[in-house]
Amino acid sequence: MAENKIMLGEDQIPTQWYNILADLPFSMPPVIHPGTGQPIGPEDLAPIFPMALIKQEVSTERYIDIPEEVQDVYKLWRPTPLYRARRWEKALDTPARIYYKWEGVSPPGSHKPNTAVAQAYYNKQEGVKRLTTETGAGQWGSALAFGCNLFGLECKVYMVRVSYHQKPYRRVLMETWGATVVPSPSEDTEFGRKLLAEDPDAPGSLGIAISEAVEDAVSHDDTKYSLGSVLNHVLLHQTITGQETKKQLEIAGDYPDILVGCIGGGSNFAGLFLPFAKDKLEGKTPSLRIICAEPEACPSLTRGPYAYDFGDTAMMTPLLKMYTLGHTFVPPPIHSGGLRYHGMAPIICALYHHKTIEAVALHQNAVFEAAVSFARAEGFVVAPETAHAVKVVMDEALKCKESGEAKVIVFNNSGHGHFDLGAYDAYLSGELKDYKYPEEKIKEALKELPKV
């Protein structure tokens, strides 16, 4: 019997990130300047990002070297293990072979520091003193706080207000690493003060928190903004996960029939699937299925139109072509996980538009049911975000049980749920509510889409 846990040595950590832009058989839609209506150039992004990241954002080089200083930090937790979920396979009575890449071993407990550490490094190299960012459930904020602390940068985090109150220990983690955390909308920015004047109890959204973080960055000379998902350079940094997974599956003598991951902005799943999507685009694995799992409460891929939209609520960011619920989207505060961004990574959207990948939206009670099934078999209590992937894997494994097919199913187990036990408590006590985002609210938000 093959091992349950497949490990790589430190000398097998990838030394380059993989860039899918080199291998796409179609052109990506340009990023548009909202003022001029023209494609943006590097100078348009310079007030927000360091030049090294801007170059990565537009690069079409297939592989980009990982700086040695970043590799040294990665060694704190990388390479991460790939597990064969034998106990869960047995519990589900499925012939499917299920593997999961366990990213919860990083100090912040998720996949997010794969890019946070890189972004902190590049900003430090260019003399930046301070980074601002937004965070929803807190995975990204804690990862950036961790990265900034390692490279001696100040970190200011605008945390979506509902999560700030629901997940106080994420805030404590960020503050332990030296970050300043405020609930968004906040009194610290002009946009935040405007929203609080209109609604003192505003629950906040990622779009609002992004607006505050960008406003803060552009109004301070020593400050840049850092984004934890969506953009090309973020997905690039996450591909270390998929490259490691490929090596580990080779050791196991397997290759996936189905890849699964949760998507909010798209970084964790893209990091797993992009190195495999290369094989599919090259015609080597045409039958490979790549399934994105998102919540019914924020169904951007499955119910949003493919259109240009702002990345934030205050309309300060460039226009990205993506599946969007509208930049004014405010998610329901009852939703128990992250995955609450109104849009999606343009690379993922383009692959979905060209039918290279697929997507499914899920209700949260079924998601937690699957997560509890996984925890009782494998032991790991996963983040609510990751639990969306677990539900899809469970569904596909049960289909294999019916058909008798021994498919290989691989998913990115992108973070632990130790700070999310309130959500598990709500599920176990029967208080968790399913919520399908209303069609009329989507239609209302889409009226605000910019004309491009």
**Crossing angle for the helix pair 113-125 and 232-252, nearest 10 degrees?**
130
Q: Which of 414, 395, 95 is nearest to 272 (CA)?
A: 414
Q: pLDDT digits over 142-196, tens only?
A: 999 999 999 999 999 999 998 899 889 999 999 999 999 999 999 999 999 999 9
C-alpha 93/C-alpha 89 separation (Å) is 6
C-alpha 161/C-alpha 179 separation (Å) is 17
Question: For a pLDDT cut of 70, what percent of the chain falls above it?
Answer: 99
Q: Which helix (H) or strand (E) holds 289?
A: strand 289-295
Given a contact cutoff of 8 angstroms between Cβ atoms, the answer to whether 56 and 239 are in contact is: no
The residue type at 330: V
C-alpha 260/C-alpha 411 separation (Å) is 5
Strand pairing category for 97-102 and 130-135:
unpaired
Peptide bond preceding 79 in cis form (omega within 30 of 0): yes
Q: pLDDT digits over 7-66, tens only?
A: 999 999 999 999 999 999 999 999 999 999 999 999 999 999 999 999 999 999 999 999
Q: What angle do CA 326, 208, 39 make, to 5 degrees?
A: 60
How many Cβ atoms from other residues are within 10 Å of residue 269's Cβ? 32
User: Distance of CA 238 to CAs 53, 110, 235, 274, 400, Å?
Assistant: 14, 11, 5, 9, 30
φ, ψ of residue 7 in degrees (nearest 5): -110, 150
Peptide bond preceding 333 in cis form (omega within 30 of 0): no
Per-residue pLDDT for 448 more than 50? yes
Per-residue pLDDT for 1 more than 60? no
pLDDT band for 111, please (50, 70, 90 cuts): very high
C-alpha 411/C-alpha 15 separation (Å) is 23
Domains of the chain: 16-66+110-225 (3.40.50.1100), 73-109+240-446 (3.40.50.1100)
C-alpha 443/C-alpha 237 separation (Å) is 35
Question: For a pLDDT cut of 90, what percent of the chain falls above it?
Answer: 91
Per-residue pLDDT at 332: 79
Q: Which of 105, 379, 410 is nearest to 271 (CA)?
A: 410
pLDDT band for 340, please (50, 70, 90 cuts): confident
Given a contact cutoff of 8 angstroms between Cβ atoms, the answer to whether 329 and 310 are in contact is: no
**Crossing angle for the helix pair 364-378 and 384-403, nearest 10 degrees?**
80
pLDDT band for 2, please (50, 70, 90 cuts): low
Strand pairing category for 16-18 and 63-65:
antiparallel
Per-residue pLDDT at 81: 98
Per-residue pLDDT for 245 more than 80? yes
- Average per-residue pLDDT in the chain? 95
Per-residue pLDDT at 445: 87
Per-residue pLDDT at 336: 72
Given a contact cutoff of 8 angstroms between Cβ atoms, the answer to whether 287 and 259 are in contact is: no
Per-residue pLDDT for 301 more than 50? yes
Given a contact cutoff of 8 angstroms between Cβ atoms, the answer to whether 64 and 236 are in contact is: yes
Peptide bond preceding 113 in cis form (omega within 30 of 0): no
Per-residue pLDDT for 113 more than 60? yes
Max distance between CA atoms of the chain, in angstroms, equals: 63
